[in-house]
Amino acid sequence: MNGVFITGTDTGVGKTLCAAGILEAYRQQGFSTIAMKPVASGCEQTDEGLRNEDALLLMQHMSEQANYDEINPYAFLPPMAPHLAAARNDLVINSGALVEQAHALASRADRIVIEGAGGWLAPLNEQQTFADLAVQFKLPVVLVVGIRLGCLNHALLTVENIQHRGVNMAGWIANIGLENTSDCLDIGENIATLESRISAPLLGKIPYLNDQNILEIASILVI
Ligand SMILES: Nc1ncnc2c1ncn2[C@@H]1O[C@H](COP(=O)(O)OP(=O)(O)O)[C@@H](O)[C@H]1O
Ligand SMILES: [Mg+2]
């Protein structure tokens, strides 16, 4: 598979916006693209079935066509950790099935962009985490760091675990556009601290984007 797996320092740090930006960046480079949101909770009940806003946004920014269920095989209604939402439905998330589905999707485009849920070690089922899934995807990882108070620890812990697992990091993104980024008194020094401690490249700094301008994110990212 060619592409990237998107993780973040937490939920709500800009993974989906960055994943959409990367899809558009790849498209501008002339690649056909497809996306995957393997597991999503907090979905909405519609006439067509459960729908997740991350998966729907990613589908808007990929060049290839696919059915919703192919892009988001596990969709759950309650906004809770996926393995708990699955358990409520008497389901166990099957990582092997997700890896197979990722390969099927990836064979239909030049690049695949897969967005995890939550952070790197969010549980997938009783035994596994999203990190285990990412290892099986064998895709380079992009870490989205939501720049705010506490992000240095979250970012460095995540990078340490990614490296410990022998997973290649394509780079990291500094999202300085979160509501609570302003809790961080010196954004520049925080970013410099991370740059000096993370060997993978900084792919771009995303400012506050009023209108969720995905093409602007694509133009910022060097990927
Ligand atoms: N740079 C930014 N500018 C404006 N809004 C942002 C920015 N980054 C994230 N957001 C907003 O914050 C929320 C969480 O972002 P999202 O990409 O969904 O994060 P995640 O996928 O990590 O949960 C969304 O409402 C998104 O529009
Ligand atoms: Mg998301």
Confidence of residue 211 (pLDDT cuts 50, 70, 90): confident
Question: Which residues have CB less than 5 Å away from ligand 2 (the ion)?
Answer: 15-16, 54
Residues enclosing ligand 1, CB less than 6 A? 8, 11-17, 54, 175, 177-178, 206, 208-209, 212
pLDDT at residue number 97: 98
Q: Which two tokens stand for residue 4?
A: 């990237």
Measured distance CA(24)–CA(52) in Å, rounded? 20
CA of 11 to the centre of ligand 2 (A): 7
Q: Are 91 and 75 in contact, with CB atoms under 8 Å apart?
A: no
Residue of 15, 37, 138, 205 marked catalytic: 37
pLDDT at residue number 212: 80
Angle between helices 187-197 and 151-164 (to 10 degrees): 20
Among the listed residues 21, 14, 18, 53, the one whose alpha carbon sits nearest the alpha carbon of residue 37: 53
Q: Which residues of 107-132 are buried (b: 16+ CB within 10 A; e: fewer)?
A: eebbbbbbbbbbbbebbbbeebbbbe
Q: pLDDT for 125-181, tens place per residue?
A: 999 999 999 999 999 999 999 999 999 999 999 999 999 999 999 999 999 999 988
Let me know if 37 is a catalytic residue.
yes
Of 17, 39, 178, best ligand 1 pocket probe by most atoms within 8 Å of the beta carbon: 17
Q: pLDDT for 8-33, tens place per residue?
A: 999 999 999 999 999 999 999 999 99
Residue located via tokens 């609570």: 180
pLDDT at residue number 181: 87
CA of 20 to the centre of ligand 2 (A): 10
pTM above 0.75, yes or no: yes
- Kindly list the structural domains of the chain, giving each domain's residue range(s) and its CATH number in brackets, ordered by start: 3-220 (3.40.50.300)
